[in-house]
Amino acid sequence: MKLELSAQQKNYQAGFRAFVNQEICPDASEWDRKEFTPPELIKKVAEQGFLGVILPQEYGGKGMDIITYGILNEEIGRGCSSVRSLLTVHNMVSYALCKWGNKFQKGYWLPKLASGEIIAAFALSEPNVGSDAKSVETTATLTGDTYVLNGEKKWITYGQIADVFLVFAKCGGKPTAFLVEKNSPGLSIKPMFGILGTRASMVAKLQFDNCQVSLENLVGKLGFGFSYIASSALDYGRYSVAWGCVGIAQACLEACIKYTNERQQFGVYLKEHQLIRQKITQMITNVKAARLLCYQAGYLKDINDPTSITETSIAKYFASTVATKVANDTVQIHGGNGCSSEYPVERYLRDSKIMEIIEGSTQIQEITIAESGYQDYLFSSFNTDLIKIY
């Protein structure tokens, strides 16, 4: 076993870090306050190829390996969770199309997605439907040579600026995925404001009133929308979010190292207080553990291992709960300053909480991971021996 980044991955990491330090960190808090991501920044992200990272080169993508994609998510997440969420949703749609789209859809959409010529968003959640995603109330009806969509989507990340949405609706009771372009007749987009975290992610509501979608925009087949198309996209989303959480926690750790090295109380630097050192130790350990789980999930994804699905859930579960804890401790260490927007750490705390809710809440992960545990421990040959022992 060798657990080390390749020279190429290290080079990418250094490049990502430099980009984030220069283009994202200085302004991320301002974007958060304004609840807005500047188009110039998105253009720079696209020029770097970050919007086509996971797509094959034949479609204009970078064709990067999944570990490098993870590292990119960590670095962007370290700077701004909103911008990282752009990578997440755009690449979720790109991946779903690359995996499940037909030849025409791949040839038409993927080059545009890879270059960032168009931005994609993932439209699953609804006012009445969150964790119970299979119960979407949006409907699609085949009328002549078009599908007609009716319903509402909510909390759609970057919905305000997306050019195309991967929308999930019930067609004859069967969960089905559709590509819906922003200018489709019958689609209206309303911005949402005042969200707790990832405030610059330009969240929107989508209203479908007899929205017409052409037959060629059906993705996959009727009835496969949730169990295959949405699920594979969400798996990639969880992977991206897990790494993004490592980025938040790393940003918190770096902020605390700096702050406790500069601020004095009771005549000594904060870092000299043992209770501070305890928190720093917990942060260092938890960040490393979360990153290792992400590496593990990435490695399994790289070899197409079926256990990668559960391992990605475990990585997301651990990294998101760690991010919340680390961010909470970071605000505590910063005291009054931590409660002020003069420091980025209050943003890290608000953003981390969002990470425990999106792409499968902490509680949903607890259900699925436990279920997987029972399968592993009760029915594998290894654990049949284990059960006999006890």
**CB of 359 vs another protein, minimal distance in Å:** 13
Task: Say whether residue 298 binds another protein (CB under 8 A).
Answer: no
Report the b/e string of 206-240 with b at 16+ CB within 10 A: bbbeebbbeeebbbbebebbbebbbebbbbbbbbb
Task: Say whether residue 227 binds another protein (CB under 8 A).
Answer: yes
Task: Say whether residue 230 binds another protein (CB under 8 A).
Answer: yes
Task: Say whether residue 274 binds another protein (CB under 8 A).
Answer: no
- Phi/psi at 25 (5° precision): -55, -45
Task: Say whether residue 100 binds another protein (CB under 8 A).
Answer: yes
> Residue 328 or 368: which CB sits closer to another protein?
368
41 vs 18: CA distance, rounded Å: 15
Task: Say whether residue 386 binds another protein (CB under 8 A).
Answer: no
Task: Say whether residue 306 binds another protein (CB under 8 A).
Answer: yes
Q: Which residues pair with 354 in a beta bridge?
A: none
- Please identify which residue in 57, 261, 264, 380 interacts with another protein, judged by CB under 8 A: 380
Residue with tokens 């004095």: 264
Task: Say whether residue 307 binds another protein (CB under 8 A).
Answer: yes
Helix, strand, coil share (%) of the chain residues, nearest 5 = 60, 15, 25
- Whether the CB-CB separation of 270 and 263 falls below 8 Å is answered with yes
- Phi/psi at 268 (5° precision): -135, 160
> Judged by CB under 8 A, which stretch of 120-128, 163-171, 206-214, 372-380 contacts another protein?
372-380
Task: Say whether residue 183 binds another protein (CB under 8 A).
Answer: no
- Phi/psi at 267 (5° precision): 80, 0
Structure tokens at 98: 């690359």
> Residue 328 or 372: which CB sits closer to another protein?
372
Task: Say whether residue 214 binds another protein (CB under 8 A).
Answer: no
Catalytic residue among 58, 74, 359, 371: 359
- Please identify which residue in 44, 115, 163, 224 interacts with another protein, judged by CB under 8 A: 224
> Judged by CB under 8 A, which stretch of 50-58, 68-76, 281-289, 309-317 contacts another protein?
309-317
Query: Exposed, middle or buried: residue 260 (CB in 10 Å: 0-12, 13-18, 19+)?
Result: buried
> Judged by CB under 8 A, which stretch of 31-39, 87-95, 351-359, 366-374 contacts another protein?
366-374
Residue with tokens 């009806």: 141
**CB of 332 vs another protein, minimal distance in Å:** 36
Task: Say whether residue 308 binds another protein (CB under 8 A).
Answer: yes
DSSP per residue over 155-191, as a string?
A: EETTTTT-SEEEEEEEETTEEEEEEEETT-TTEEEEE
> Judged by CB under 8 A, which stretch of 61-69, 179-187, 201-209, 367-375 contacts another protein?
367-375
Query: Exposed, middle or buried: residue 108 (CB in 10 Å: 0-12, 13-18, 19+)?
Result: middle
Alpha carbon separation from 44 to 16, 20, 40, 108 (Å, rounded)? 12, 11, 6, 23
Contacts for 62 with CB less than 8 Å, ≥ 6 apart? 49, 52, 53, 54, 55, 114
Applying CB under 8 A, the site for another protein has a residue count of 33
> Judged by CB under 8 A, which stretch of 77-85, 139-147, 272-280, 375-383 contacts another protein?
375-383
Task: Say whether residue 226 binds another protein (CB under 8 A).
Answer: yes
The verdict on whether 23 is a catalytic residue reads no
User: Catalytic residues, which ones?
Assistant: 359
Q: Given the rule CB under 8 A, which residues bind another protein?
A: 99-102, 134, 220-221, 223-224, 226-228, 230-232, 235, 303-310, 313, 368, 371-372, 375-376, 378-380
